[in-house]
Amino acid sequence: MRCSIRKGISFGLTSGIITTLGLMVGLHSSTHSKIVIIGGILVIAIADALSDALGIHISEEFENKHTVKEIWESTIITFLTKFFIALTFVVPIVYFSLYTAIVVSIVWGLSLITLLSWYIAQEQENHHLKVIFEHLGIAILVIVITHYVGDWVATLN
């Protein structure tokens, strides 16, 4: 797989998971509203996916090491990956109670991070558990912080 495609997939996947989980957990803590959380996910899927794709595009251009084709591959793959990954988090919200949907989403997101981390460690011939725990630690930190930020926002009423 070409580097530009791998970059787009890995960035879009990671950003899609972390951003969407953080948003979901924070909105759940502050509103306990399915419709607000679904709306937030849809906004993330569009606005943040486009923002990240543009960020990758500009970063790749700034490096001045990549062809125009490679830059656009990274851009498009980043957008598509983040967009579709974010949308997967709508499914549990629609089909489960809100609390269960949040738990299912966290398990889904952390499982994807684990699989990506395992793949990265495998490719780089690194110690799998070290890479997995490093990435999971950051993801869990985001989940915990956004939960407490949501709790705090709920007190502002």
What are the tens digits of pLDDT across the range 94-109?
999 999 999 999 999 9
Domain boundaries, the chain: 3-154
pLDDT confidence of residue 126: 82
Residue 2: pLDDT band with limits 50, 70, 90: confident
For residues 14-42, give the mean pLDDT.
Answer: 97
d(CA 99, CA 91): 14
pLDDT confidence of residue 134: 95
For 88, half-sphere exposure in the C-beta direction (CA atoms, 13 angstrom radius) is 17
Calculate the average pLDDT of the chain: 95
Element (H, E) at 21: helix 3-31
Q: Give 108 or 8, the one with higher predicted confidence.
A: 108
For residues 73-96, give the mean pLDDT.
Answer: 97
pLDDT confidence of residue 87: 98
For residues 55-77, give the mean pLDDT.
Answer: 93
Mark 106-120 as b/e (b = at least 16 C-beta within 10 Å). Answer: bebbbebbbebbeeb
d(CA 122, CA 13): 17
Q: Which segments of 32-127 does DSSP mark as H helices, in order?
A: 34-43, 49-63, 68-88, 90-95, 98-124
Query: Within 10 Å of residue 131's Cβ, how many Cβ atoms?
Result: 19
pLDDT(49) > 80: yes
Whole-prediction pTM: 0.92
